[in-house]
Amino acid sequence: MKIPFSPPYINKAVIKEVNDALESGWITTGPKVRKLEELVCKYTYSPNTLCVNSATSGLILALKWYGISKGDEVIIPAYTYAATALAVIHVGATPVMVDIENDFNISVKQIEKAITTKTKAIIPVDIAGWPCNYSDINKIVNSKKKIFQSSNNNQEKLGRILILADSAHSIGAKYKNHFLGTIADITVFSFHAVKNVTTAEGGAVCLNLPKPFNNQEEYDYLRCYSLNGQTKDAFTKSKAGGWKYDIIYPGLKINMPDILAAIGVAQIPEYFEKTLKKRLNIYAYYHNFFSEKPWAILPPCIDDDRVSSCHLYALRIKNISETTRNIIIDKISQQGVATNVHFQPLPLLSLFKEMGYEINSYPNAYNNYKGEISLPIYPQLTKEQLEHIVLTVEKAVETSL
């Protein structure tokens, strides 16, 4: 039995929507993108959403919007995908890495210790779809207002450190009974091919800025900025007499095309109404099986404040070395089950080692990583496949300990 790790969810509705885009004769940014933005707002209750070509681009765009540049610091977790740090580097700022908690998410205590007068933003990352502790992060940010030093109009208006959520994994997750997208100042979702909702490549920037910001006005600015600072997109320019445009910002070229947005347009309603529940059911199946195993550390799914989007099932094996974990993965693979590891902490990667980050400074990140095995979790999995997965993992672990 061959079980892939994370195939995209493509059904007849997706194919129909993509064909509709192809047959329309319009495949770059246009009505499908706008429809996808509206659907994200509808289902997450976000005031405004801009779709872009990747979550990485969305993070870069948000950092640029806040005027973050050389000399500024942005706090991020050491345990995340490289894009979180690369977005900071690409705007010229310094990523300040801090350790994580046992639930994989950024440590609030370490955030507080890391804040300086140079701190302009914090990027909490909802690992595996599990929301960060946003209430405590907000408290810390508000307590540090006195030392915040603004250097432009947006920073002056907000008057504090920006909370920019890297929610690449967590569309559909809830924090205190609210969907993510309405919790942080700005929330960035990923629609990459392996995500719960996909557009093959893509991302969404959800605006939830407090007054005196007008989220619609900021959306209009970001939309223009994401299209090279051009005042008209290609769809508008194609209308009779609509050829003339202006360039008003030194923008980026990070817009999402309609042909990709069509996939998301088909997926989002079904995701929120059906397939998200299927993911929760698979989580429950894994939980019920592995809760009986003394060697298993189960990933968080639901508590009084949070509900996961169940993007990853990040199983950990107690008290094992990285080498043993890798042996277990090889044994699982031999039985046709594809697994993964999320993530290698950033200080283990060559780029960040060369920048001076050392893994010894992030013990929790390394301890979580060395025993972690991500299991397949997607709505197409059958009962037979799930049974094969858990029995395969059980045997691989118990013959390796």
- Does residue 291 fall inside a structural domain? yes
Q: Above pLDDT 70, what percent of the chain?
A: 97
Do 145 and 26 share a domain, yes or no?
A: yes
Do 250 and 318 share a domain, yes or no?
A: no
Token representation of residue 16: 């129909």
- Give me the CATH number covering residue 348: 3.90.1150.10
Total domains, the chain: 2
Q: Given this model, what pLDDT does residue 239 score?
A: 60
Most confident of 17-21, 231-235, 249-253: 17-21
Do 163 and 135 share a domain, yes or no?
A: yes
The answer to whether residues 377 and 282 touch, using CB atoms and an 8 Å cutoff, is yes
Do 197 and 278 share a domain, yes or no?
A: no
Token representation of residue 319: 């008290």
Cα separation of 365 and 344, whole Å? Answer: 9
Average pLDDT of the residues in 325-346? 98
Average pLDDT of the residues in 318-335? 98
Do 157 and 180 share a domain, yes or no?
A: yes
Is 139 labeled as catalytic in the residue annotation? no
Q: Given this model, what pLDDT does residue 394 score?
A: 98
Q: Given this model, what pLDDT does residue 87 score?
A: 98
Closest CA to 272 of 171, 139, 163: 171
The answer to whether residues 151 and 67 touch, using CB atoms and an 8 Å cutoff, is yes
Q: Which of 243, 262, 281 is the last residue of a domain?
A: 262
Full DSSP string of 374-389: EEP--TT--HHHHHHH
Q: Given this model, what pLDDT does residue 241 score?
A: 58
- Does residue 350 fall inside a structural domain? yes
Check pLDDT > 60 for residue 240: no
The answer to whether residues 166 and 123 touch, using CB atoms and an 8 Å cutoff, is yes
Q: Given this model, what pLDDT does residue 243 score?
A: 66
Predicted confidence band of residue 238 (pLDDT cuts 50, 70, 90):
low
Q: Which of 235, 262, 289 is the last residue of a domain?
A: 262
Q: Given this model, what pLDDT does residue 253 score?
A: 95
CA 203 to chain centre: 9
Of the residues 157, 195, 277, 318, only one is catalytic, namely 195
Q: Which of 210, 234, 262 is the last residue of a domain?
A: 262
The answer to whether residues 48 and 218 touch, using CB atoms and an 8 Å cutoff, is yes
CA angle 135, 308, 310 (to 5 degrees): 155
Average pLDDT of the residues in 26-32? 93
* Mean pLDDT, all residues of the chain: 96
Check pLDDT > 70 for residue 215: yes
Beta-bridge partners for 297: 316
Predicted confidence band of residue 211 (pLDDT cuts 50, 70, 90):
very high
For residue 239, give its domain range.
12-262
Cα separation of 99 and 119, whole Å? Answer: 17
Closest CA to 54 of 252, 214, 230: 252
Check pLDDT > 80 for residue 351: yes
Check pLDDT > 80 for residue 93: yes
Question: What are the tens digits of pLDDT across the range 117-174?
Answer: 999 999 999 999 999 999 999 999 999 999 999 999 999 999 999 999 999 999 999 9
Q: Given this model, what pLDDT does residue 233 score?
A: 73
Q: Given this model, what pLDDT does residue 247 score?
A: 85
* The one-letter amino acid at 351: L
Do 99 and 78 share a domain, yes or no?
A: yes
- Does residue 239 fall inside a structural domain? yes
